């Protein structure tokens, strides 16, 4: 757990380093400071409003015990087992089976599931999935993943400015246009790869934590296999429009397959299932 947090901290520091690099190109030392201030302001905005933004983006509707009794009761039971505050519970009208958690802290969290996953999974499998999402809540991964996604997007914007308007070197002189083009290509790519590395690291920990909360590692393993067999064949319009949100889902919702292993937002399902089977003391199933 400590090692995982250390790796995440290093990766987040690397993203801020890219911010400073692009800012330095745009305006030398003052540009670097401005970029870092911009990054900090972006983080502050995301800290307060990320859950509202994402839930509105996916047109999620809040449910309660009367409107979605089984789903709500599963979340409530798992929350009690995990010792967490009760989050707000949402349903998203999407056929693709998927789920995510969002919010700035366990006290201000929300969990959401698509109508597709509610129809497809058994109660036991759904319980495993929601335990995974509540593990994200408990570990505050939802804030880390949202901040990393937002910073990656902001770096792309700054890099685009660098290509269009040029920049200044550390001494304030006009920079090489070729350097601007390199930054415009390499900075967003590096930020995206770091963001995805953060996401993959947190997913393994959420699988482990979710299995402990539910007490049933095989339930999550079975759910992951079932979700993967259907998710990529059913498009999710909002995720395709806002791909930076893909890392929030329990399974990558995007349909693209090009360079999948390099740009994967989640660990390979086979590896996730293998680790969960080991937790249950069973051999991996085919």
| 199 closest CA partner among 275, 272, 114 | 272
Classify residue 236: in a domain, yes or no.
Answer: yes
Q: What percent of the chain has pLDDT over 70?
A: 59
Q: pTM above 0.85?
A: no
**Residues classed as catalytic:** 133
Q: Would you give the DSSP letter of residue 112?
A: E
What is the number of structural domains in the chain? 1
Are the C-beta atoms of residues 266 and 124 closer than 8 Å to each other?
A: no
Classify residue 286: in a domain, yes or no.
Answer: no
Digit-coded pLDDT (tens) for 78-135: 999 999 999 999 999 999 999 999 887 899 999 999 999 999 999 999 999 999 999 9
Digit-coded pLDDT (tens) for 22-50: 767 666 666 666 666 766 676 667 667 77
Classify residue 191: in a domain, yes or no.
Answer: yes
Q: Which residues constitute the domain of residue 67? A: 2-280
Classify residue 212: in a domain, yes or no.
Answer: yes
E strands, 106-248, in order? 109-114
Classify residue 128: in a domain, yes or no.
Answer: yes
What whole-number distance in Å separates Cα of residue 109 and Cα of residue 151? 21
Residue 176 has pLDDT above 60, yes or no: no
Confidence of residue 195 (pLDDT cuts 50, 70, 90): low
What is the structure's pLDDT at 101? 93
End-to-end CA distance of the chain: 29
Classify residue 285: in a domain, yes or no.
Answer: no
Digit-coded pLDDT (tens) for 158-175: 666 666 555 555 555 545
Phi, psi of 62 (to 5 degrees): -75, 140
What is the structure's pLDDT at 286? 42
Structure tokens at 178: 């070729």
What whole-number distance in Å separates Cα of residue 180 and Cα of residue 113? 42
Classify residue 58: in a domain, yes or no.
Answer: yes
Residue 243 has pLDDT above 90, yes or no: no
C-alpha distances in Å from residue 86, one per residue of 6, 40, 166, 251: 28, 29, 49, 23
Confidence of residue 69 (pLDDT cuts 50, 70, 90): very high
| 54 closest CA partner among 95, 9, 90, 8 | 90
Are the C-beta atoms of residues 188 and 163 closer than 8 Å to each other?
A: no
Digit-coded pLDDT (tens) for 248-273: 899 988 876 544 444 566 889 999 99
What is the structure's pLDDT at 124? 97
């Amino acid at each position: 757990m400590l090692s995982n947090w250390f790796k995440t901290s290093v990766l987040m520091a690397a993203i801020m380093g890219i911010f400073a690099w692009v800012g330095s190109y745009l305006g030398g030392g003052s540009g670097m400071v401005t970029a870092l201030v911009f990054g900090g302001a972006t983080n502050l905005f995301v800290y307060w409003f990320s859950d509202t933004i994402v839930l509105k983006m996916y047109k999620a509707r809040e449910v309660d015990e009367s409107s979605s009794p089984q789903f709500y009761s599963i979340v409530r039971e798992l929350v009690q087992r995990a010792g967490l505050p009760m989050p707000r519970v949402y349903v998203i009208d999407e056929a693709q089976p998927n789920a995510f958690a969002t919010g700035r802290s366990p006290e201000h969290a929300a969990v959401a599931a698509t109508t597709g996953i509610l129809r497809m999974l058994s109660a036991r499998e759904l319980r495993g999935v929601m335990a995974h999402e509540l593990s994200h809540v408990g570990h505050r991964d939802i804030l880390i993943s949202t901040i990393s996604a937002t910073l990656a997007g902001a770096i792309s914007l700054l890099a685009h400015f660098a290509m269009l308007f040029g920049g200044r070197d550390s001494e304030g002189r006009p920079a090489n246009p070729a350097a601007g083009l390199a930054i415009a290509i390499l900075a967003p790519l590096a930020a995206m790869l770091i963001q995805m590395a953060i996401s993959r690291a947190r997913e393994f920990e959420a699988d482990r934590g979710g299995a402990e909360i539910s007490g049933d590692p095989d339930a999550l393993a079975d759910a992951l296999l079932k979700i993967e067999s259907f998710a990529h064949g059913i498009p999710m319009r909002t995720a395709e429009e806002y791909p930076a949100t893909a890392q929030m889902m329990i399974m990558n919702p995007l349909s693209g397959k090009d360079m999948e292993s390099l740009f994967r937002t989640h660990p390979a399902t086979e590896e996730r299932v293998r680790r969960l089977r080991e937790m249950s003391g069973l051999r991996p199933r085919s």
